[in-house]
Chain A
Amino acid sequence: QKEVEQNSGPLSVPEGAIASLNCTYSDRGSQSFFWYRQYSGKSPELIMFIYSNGDKEDGRFTAQLNKASQYVSLLIRDSQPSDSATYLCAVSSSNTGKLIFGQGTTLQVKP
């Protein structure tokens, strides 16, 4: 059974701080890694994706991938109250594009 694990939180950070969200996955054959943001009652929204080991930056967001440790993380710099949401890690190891989602980590950014 292929699994994606996240700490459900909530993770609480003050406004302006760095939020660090972590995810581990079980399938070593996984090829693509995604972070989605989901506000309560809404659909997931793609933040960024990463394929290669290392860091990938997009604005205030940095995704980090370590395939040897089967670990993906998302850093959010200068956290804003509007970043308060559930962050979903998703992993693909299928040539159909199927994603396996983690439970999500709830982030609370306090003004």
Chain B
Amino acid sequence: EPEVTQTPSHQVTQMGQEVILRCVPISNHLYFYWYRQILGQKVEFLVSFYNNEISEKSEIFDDQFSVERPDGSNFTLKIRSTKLEDSAMYFCASSVGVGYGYTFGSGTRLTVV
């Protein structure tokens, strides 16, 4: 069964450093998303991406964050100048279309120290 692949599975970074989280969506999917889940809390929407541009972003997704699809397969989330409160599990997801439900990747656990 097709999978969404995320790397790394765990990233530890020092406060103030930049991190890049990587995702390879399912190949025939057209809609891409990033979500995060702080331990014990809800899964929160960060950003949606379609046709090589951001289609919607949340209040969380401020200038500290950016996304990119540098080639036909990868989808990245960059967090500049990380803060302690950025520590969370970050999930990438993709979908063949709006309203079809997503396939989530296995997640990257980001720990900011």
Contacts and interface: CB of A to CB of B under 8 A. Distances in A.
A2 to B, nearest CB: 11
B55 A96 contact: yes
A34 interface: yes
Given A43-B91, A51-B99, A97 B31 contact: yes
A43 B42 contact: no
A96 B50 contact: yes
B56 to A, nearest CB: 4
Contacts of A46: 101-103
Interface string A42-80: 111110010100000000000000000000000000000
B45 interface: yes
A92 to B, nearest CB: 7
Interface stretch (B69-77, B78-86, B104-112): B104-112
A42 B41 CA distance: 14
Range for the number of chain B residues in contact with chain A: 20 to 34
Interface residues of A, number: 24
B43 interface: yes
A22 interface: no
Contacts of A96: 31, 48, 50, 55-56, 98
Given A31-B99, A44-B91, A103 B42 contact: yes
B43 A97 contact: no
Interface of A: 31-32, 34, 42-46, 49, 51, 88, 90, 92, 94-104
